Structure 1
Amino acid sequence: MTLRNQTLFFEQFRRNFTQTGAIMPSSPALGQAASAHLARPRPPARILEAGAGTGSFTREIIPLLIPGDRLDVVEISSELTGFLQQRLIDEGLLRRSGVASAGLDIRLINADLLQFPFDTDYDFIIFSLPLTNFPPDMVAALLAIMMQHLRPGGVFSYVKYIFIGQFKYYLGGAQTRAKMDGNQAIIQDYARQYQFERSVVVANVPSTWVNYW
């Protein structure tokens, strides 16, 4: 992790915990787990990364792409989007999209997912937004949009940090607990309908569940 990456992440965390959620950038192990189904033998696909941050997942996803793939990377922060673009160029990852023979289509998009004009559905959605930080109506709207744009047979992977939610729940007031209870009810309803696999990544701070729907 570069000093610039770490500094920018903590600045975003300090200014907007609601959108950042984590206390440190995600580890390579977590990025690999979130994109595990993308790594399996498959035909060309359309992939959405929702909430790219400083690119911890993006840099694990791009090497898994095959000719014919399209990757849409959506990040709400303009500062993080600019940082991510330069990071991927510096690491030689974004240049692959400019090589015609590679047949890759990689798009970095600075947008709010709730207002994003989707022009396609996706075979894989890799989602790392901190749902437990959001109001229940926002959680419901985000998950509805994700499921609406997940193709039949597609895979939605969602990361959930272990322990952070519990700390917030027990240290927060009644309003915080009511919001988190509402969020959890929505998430569990989707999980009962769609979840087919779950893994845990301990090589991350904090340890994290990766849920596959």
Structure 2
Amino acid sequence: MSLFLDDDRSNRLRPAILDDFVGSLLNDVERARHLGLPETTRIRERAKIISPEQLTIGEHCWIGENTLLDASGGLEIGEHTSIGLNCLVFTHSSWLANMMLENHSGSDLIERKPVRIGRGCFIGGNSVIMMGVTIGDHATVSPLSVVTKDVPAYSLVSGNPARVFQRYDQDHIRTEAERVRAANRARRERTQPAPPDSRTDRPDGQ
């Protein structure tokens, strides 16, 4: 007796199961190519996409380990956005199917609403984005947050449910970027080997 069922649902799910298996053998860039994502996408081990045909994702995005992207209701992720480890992004809910005792495959009580995550966003690890939410450009979601409503652009949200704790602008971002660049320059200079002493670099030591 075959272990594999030959019905419509099984045959529909099989390619995604094979993608998960093959993806476990690839690095993050190879995995992105295998899944048909932009060449600049880095998608880490055990990340999963539900309904990838409903996903629109920009260039230079990073998806962390064990993150689930449910695109069944439509999911858009802007360029240069990172979604951390163990995050859950939902675009559907089976709540009514459970309440009505109709939680069977193909139930018409599955509700779907699209999620949009803007460009230049940072979604911290272990966060949950609920269906129907729009996260504005350059927004930050702190780790361990549950986002249940729209997030304004240029804001930091945190908590369960997440709420706005800080607003910032491009000047603030540029100032912080220069601070970090300066710190990294100083660190590199400290760790670079000293140039050879010209007085001792000659064969005669003179």
Q: TM-score, length-normalised on structure 2?
A: 0.23
Richer in helix (by share) = 1
Q: Select the structure of larger CA radius of gyration.
A: 2
Q: TM-score, length-normalised on structure 1?
A: 0.23
